[in-house]
Every structure is written in C-alpha cells, then in structure tokens.
Amino acid sequence: GNSVTQMEGPVTLSEEAFLTINCTYTATGYPSLFWYVQYPGEGLQLLLKATKADDKGSNKGFEATYRKETTSFHLEKGSVQVSDSAVYFCALLDAYQGGKLIFGQGTELSVKP
C-alpha cells in the first residue's frame, strides 16, 4: 500500500541555519505530494505541494522538489527562524475511493536563537 517515511526527529538548529527534512514515499504511480506544518497547540495546515514529477512547491521560504527517480520530496529552507519551530508532516494523496491523505510520522523542528 501507499506509505510515507520521514527522517526521525527531533531536529534542533540554530537560527539562520540550513534545514533539510527528508521524505520518501511508496506508491503506485505518481501521486501528488504535500508538506503540512503543525504549530504548537494547533491543527495541521498546508505548507506546500507538488502535483507531478519535477514540480517544485514553495511557500514561506520553504521548498520541496518532487523527485520520481528517488521517490523523494525533501523539505528545505535556507535560513530558519525561531518561528519555524513546529512539527512537519510529509503526505501523499491516495486518490482511491474518493481521496485521502496518507501522512508520514512527522518531524519535530526546534530552532534556537
């Protein structure tokens, strides 16, 4: 079945450091891919997405490129801020039976001043 695997956290970085959170997927075909972010005490919200191979999603300084060769969708940011501290979830769209998102286990990011 479809699944998403993320690098384990927590990830702790200093402000202005470079961020990479790895995400790989297993799926039939080429599903749309997403990154969601969960700030403390809140529900998840969509951060960015890519709907086909080689697409790059971007938002708020974050980027991720859909790589079908490596079945990956790694999240990157060039310079993190304390306000980026959150849990990040990679997800894929399973379009079978109406459509649903399959999430990875989440990666907690903590950015220190």
Partner 1 sequence: NAGVTQTPKFRVLKTGQSMTLLCAQDMNHEYMYWYRQDPGMGLRLIHYSVGEGTTAKGEVPDGYNVSRLKKQNFLLGLESAAPSQTSVYFCASSYSVRDTGELFFGEGSRLTVL
For partner 1, the binding residues (CB under 8 A) are: 6, 32, 34, 36, 41-46, 49, 51, 89, 91, 93, 95, 97-106
Of 17 and 110, which CB lies nearer to partner 1 in the complex structure?
110
Q: Give me the amino acid identity at 21.
A: I
CB nearer to partner 1: give 13 or 93. 93
Could you write out the DSSP letters of every residue in 39-60? -TTS-EEEEEEE-STT-EEEET
- Helix, strand or coil, per DSSP, at residue 15: coil
Residue matched to tokens 């960015």: 48
Closest distance of CB 15 from partner 1, Å? 26
Shortest distance, CB of residue 90 to partner 1, whole angstroms?
A: 9
> In the complex with partner 1, which residue's Cβ is closer, 41 or 113?
41
- Which residues share a beta bridge with 75? 21, 64
| CB 80 to partner 1: min, Å | 22
The minimum distance between CB 91 and partner 1, in angstroms, equals 8
- State the number of CA atoms in the 13 A half-sphere of 91 facing the CB: 20
Rounded CA-CA distance 3/52 in Å is 17
Q: Which is nearer to partner 1, 49 or 74 (CB)?
A: 49
